[in-house]
């Protein structure tokens, strides 16, 4: 069973455009090699970091949304940790992938009525 994930990672800014694209392609190829599929990719570009990471004040941001089996996600995380050109990375479950929006949870009908009655009693108004 495949699950949807989102990885955001920061690539070193001192790499050439071709080298940055090679790093991005390596991550895409790693996802595809393990039977995953890319849902979308957002290239945020070069941004200033909130704090220095390995003496870098800027980084190239990329957000990758993909679907793959849970057992294979550790391979992607391992690639992020061991690659010296990737400054920082984070992978999370993505609940809104592929057009599915969870939306806000709807309270039960009994909860709405109970909240109104409780509020009136606490103010001393009847």
Confidence at residue 103, expressed as pLDDT on a 0 to 100 scale: 45
> In which domain, by residue range, is 27 found?
2-118
Burial of 13 (0-12, 13-18, 19+ CB in 10 A): middle
Judge whether 123 lies within some domain.
no
Per the domain annotation, does 112 fall within a domain? yes
**What's the CATH code of the domain at 67?**
3.30.70.60
Would the pLDDT of 101 be above 50?
A: no
Residue 82 tokens, joined: 């061991």
Residues contacting 55, CB < 8 A, separation 6+: none
pLDDT tens by residue, 40-55: 999 999 999 999 999 9
pLDDT at 97: 45
Q: What is the CA radius of gyration of the chain?
A: 22
CA 69 vs CA 4, 41, 84: distances in Å: 9, 19, 26
Domains in the chain, number: 1
The verdict on residue 9 lying in a domain is: yes
Is 49 a member of any domain?
A: yes
């Amino acid at each position: 069973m495949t699950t949807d994930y989102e990885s955001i990672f920061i690539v070193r800014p001192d790499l050439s455009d071709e080298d940055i694209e090679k790093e991005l392609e390596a991550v895409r190829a790693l996802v595809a090699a393990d039977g995953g599929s890319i849902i979308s990719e957002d290239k945020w570009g070069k941004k200033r970091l909130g704090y220095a990471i390995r003496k870098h004040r800027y980084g190239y941001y990329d957000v990758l949304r993909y679907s793959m089996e849970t057992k294979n996600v550790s391979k992607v995380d391992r690639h992020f940790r061991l690659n010296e050109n990737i400054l920082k990375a984070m992978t999370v479950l993505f609940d809104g992938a592929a057009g599915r929006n969870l939306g806000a949870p709807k309270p039960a009908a009994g909860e709405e009525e109970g909240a109104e009655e409780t509020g009136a009693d606490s103010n001393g108004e009847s």
